[in-house]
Structure 1
Amino acid sequence: MKIFASTLLLLAALPGAPALAQTACQPGTYAAPDGDFVVLVVSPAVAAPALRYQFRDGRRGATSEAGAPLACGGAQVTVKGEAWSPIAFRETPARFDSAGTQMNGMLIEPPGNDAKRPLVVMVHGSERTSPIGGLYGYAMAAQGISVFVYDKRGTGGSEGEYTQNFELLAADAAKALDTARGLAAGRHGRVGFFGGSQGGWVAPLAATRTKADFVAVGFGLVASPIEEDREQMVSEVRAAGLGKDAEALVTRLSAATAGLLLSDFHTGYDALDAVRRDMADKPWAAKIEGEYSGAIARMPNDELRRIGRARFDNLELIWDYDAVAALRKLDTPLLWVLAGEDREAPIETTRAALRGLQAAGKPIDTYLFPGTDHGMWEYVDKADGTRDYTRLTDGYLKLLGDWIKGDVRGAYGRAEKLTPR
């Protein structure tokens, strides 16, 4: 999960052949008689007047694409000749205070006043875009769940400064849950968090700051940002078939850059120089990225001393954050969904940590979707080693919805439920 840039891949555009825009399409969520749904939203990734669509099974695109699997007209959407009707959500804007900062949110409730309906707070990742009016909240609400979405501090309609300090973000998430619980009083049952990507660090921590009945995480890490950097580089050299010596070198590089980060770029230069010398004759070294180590290794020491902290450490990230310690404090049921081929958040350390927590008796359900990358995207490998992302994997959204409702049953696409061993 990229620390310095937006990584909410779930909002990324899918390429498609141009076609005449379906100008009759209206934003909203449309339900089929059998419970299937499609969400239509305005998106900066799609040229107006077209809309972004998202089906429950993961198909996503723009209404302007040739071959779009829906047609719009009047107050309905037609899919394979069947009319799907709009869901009349109750939407309540909200303002709340967190640590002296005014935050902006929205409660989305399905029709009716079901006192047993689950309520979930959506905890954002590292992106700076607003989740209000986005696909994810409505895709949850379409499954009979009340959803509270809010703007991360320093983004959208929320005040304050943008930060990646997990403690402060967890405090914000806890306040969001308390706010949502009050707004939906008498119209909800169990309450909890969902966090995607960086939200996988924040949501469990927030559940230690307020009472929560569940926590769900998608493509997050049970590892520190330093460990994430190392795993990304190890994944890079493995993908290139470079062997154990290369793995050892990038592991040393990650340790060296961690020394700089943890000392505010005051110390650690001797260790970094030693790794640079050993990597100097390796043609592949110039292409190594990691989360930040590749960029640090390519900057001269005098620049790192002058501007390293401003460049790499200006968002109050807790580099050596102990994610396992936070989960040990929780006895709340936890769902963790892994992307099997995640390049941004490699799963090796996370999977082992979850297995250990399960073996220790923590109530954790772990699922893995094979052949998916960060964001639960399916993809096609290209000749140059990059990936074309095709769709959100089938079963992911339904698994989240059913688990939050306490009604997991049957198969969820290609998902594999993992057990401790």
Structure 2
Amino acid sequence: MTGKTLAAAALLLALAGMSPALAAEAVVAPACEIGSYRLVDGSALDIGPGAAGQLRWRRTDGLTGALIRAGKERWTSTYGWTERPDGHTLTITDCGRGGIGFDDIAGQREALIQRDTRFESNGVELAGRLTLPPGRARVPIVVLIHGAEHSSALQDYWLQRQFASAGIGVFAYDKRGTGASGGRYSQNYLLLATDAIQAAREARRLVGDRAGRMGYQGGSQGGWVAPLAARIEPVDFVIVSFGLAVSPREEDREAIAADLARAGFGGVETAKALEVADATAAIVESDFREGFERLDEVKRKYAAQPWFSAIRGNYSGFMLSASAQDLRTQAPALVAGIEVRYDPMPVLNNLAVPQLWLLGGQDRDAPPGETVRRLDALKQSGRPIDYVVFPDADHGLYEFETGKEGERISTRQPQDYFPRMRDFILGRPAAK
């Protein structure tokens, strides 16, 4: 990549709330191997796309690994995203028939029902996919609302198979301007909420008399969109994964404060760092047309300070490393319509739909501190909200190892993450 492309990609990943390591897996693997498998011990195994030339396995307890071909029928695994062998192996002896062996435990691809569709929203044709468990029984339906990523949900979202394997119908769709959907990419939350509402209507149409409870699961930016959609047209439940009850501007400021605290700096340095946050926010709010002189001014003022290099934030750190020219020419298309001061609280204060929020205690992109305080206040006011903070998880709800240079290397998701969502959708009490 050129430096110019790298700068734009870094900004995109920051605002999408996606780590570069995870984003690299937005590659289509051979369709034959991809699917949900039931092993003879009763456990479920998902095989999905991985990095180029690889597959990725996932289990409902959060364990995952990259699969690297080691022969005609055999694949070996590395732990999480560490590239360290973990001892797991996969054999696919007859891909067309769906037979596999995982660590010598035989399994068979599940006969999930999938139906691709196209539906219209705000004059744009969107691509969707319904995935159902086999049979004719009524099932709850969850509509997956993605975050700010530009990749295809239909290709990359393994939850569409995992939920269906657990007895839940799933509707996934490519966000406007991504994948197989038409239109221009946007981060306008009201526009995206109306797209989600149309997706839910299409899901209900396709499911017909099998439709039970229906709701949304939204990750990252989807945590702003899902409650808004549910407020406009009520559903039966909302799940927010690694989302926020604060604005994007507050998200960046809270992330910068956490950056400096981790680096050992105090309130005086943090106050200065928030001047940087004000300057970057002004540029984003102007759609990258104005404010560069102010940013240059604070950079000249503080760039030599020891705390300056600790700034990461949600988008500020990436903007500090990109040139003004790159930001002016590339950023507007990447983050079109982003509402930096969007306040989710008026919606949450008036939302009667049961909600489950799942947050990462080590989330550097979406720090949960103020969000937890607001969720507590909403609960005390009688809103039907429950939340769980997974103490060791970063954004995406990934646990991690810390490398020699201080970088975080994702390993797995918390053991209770998927079961919490599954049981909430199915109306089961959470396991204690």
TM-score (norm 2): 0.83
Secondary structure of 1:346's counterpart equals coil
- Distance in 1 (CA, whole Å) between partners of 2:145 and 2:31 is 33
Aligned counterparts, 1:321-360, within 5 A = 321-360=342-381
- Distance in 2 (CA, whole Å) between partners of 1:35 and 1:385 is 39
Counterpart AA for 2:166? Q
- Distance in 2 (CA, whole Å) between partners of 1:40 and 1:278 is 51
| 1:72 is the counterpart of 2:92 | yes
CA contact (8 A) 2:255 2:367 kept: yes
- Distance in 2 (CA, whole Å) between partners of 1:111 and 1:133 is 21
Deviations 1:312-371 (A, max 9, x none): 444110110011122122100001000110011111121111111111111001011111
What's the counterpart of residue 65 of structure 2? 61
Aligned counterparts, 1:312-391, within 5 A = 312-314=331-333, 315-391=336-412
CA contact (8 A) 2:11 2:331 kept: no
- Distance in 2 (CA, whole Å) between partners of 1:353 and 1:184 is 36
Shift of 1:381: 1.7
- Distance in 2 (CA, whole Å) between partners of 1:267 and 1:93 is 43
| 1:410 is the counterpart of 2:428 | no
What's the counterpart of residue 401 of structure 1? 422
Deviations 1:256-278 (A, max 9, x none): 33334435567767865664465
TM-score (norm 1): 0.85
Shift of 1:197: 1.1
What's the counterpart of residue 140 of structure 2? 118
Q: May I ask how many residue pairs the two structures share in their alignment? A: 395
CA contact (8 A) 2:288 2:331 kept: no
- Distance in 1 (CA, whole Å) between partners of 2:19 and 2:303 is 34
Counterpart AA for 1:290? G
Shift of 1:290: 2.1
What's the counterpart of residue 45 of structure 2? 38
| 1:127 is the counterpart of 2:170 | no
Counterpart AA for 1:138? R
- Distance in 1 (CA, whole Å) between partners of 2:159 and 2:32 is 19
Shift of 1:35: 4.6
Shift of 1:76: 2.5
Secondary structure of 1:132's counterpart equals helix
Secondary structure of 2:210's counterpart equals coil
Runs of at least 5 residues in structure 2 that lack an aligned partner in the other structure = 1-9, 69-75, 78-86
- Distance in 2 (CA, whole Å) between partners of 1:10 and 1:354 is 30
Deviations 1:278-309 (A, max 9, x none): 52441331452323334555778xx58xx755
- Distance in 2 (CA, whole Å) between partners of 1:327 and 1:386 is 35
- Distance in 2 (CA, whole Å) between partners of 1:381 and 1:399 is 27
Question: More helix per residue: 1 or 2?
Answer: 2
Moved more, 321-330 or 87-96: 321-330
- Distance in 2 (CA, whole Å) between partners of 1:10 and 1:410 is 34
Aligned counterparts, 1:255-334, within 5 A = 255-263=278-286, 272=295, 275-276=298-299, 278-296=301-319, 303=324, 310-314=329-333, 315-334=336-355
What's the counterpart of residue 418 of structure 1? none
Moved more, 51-60 or 257-266: 257-266
Shift of 1:400: 0.9
What's the counterpart of residue 20 of structure 1? none
Q: Structure 1 pair 24/250, CA: closer, same or farther in 2 (3 Å)?
A: closer
CA contact (8 A) 2:45 2:60 kept: yes
Moved more, 372-381 or 275-284: 275-284
Counterpart AA for 1:239? R
Deviations 1:214-266 (A, max 9, x none): 00011111111111111221121111112221111122322233334435567
Counterpart AA for 2:147? G
- Distance in 1 (CA, whole Å) between partners of 2:104 and 2:162 is 22
> Which of 131, 140, 147 does residue 163 from structure 2 map onto?
140
Secondary structure of 2:12's counterpart equals coil
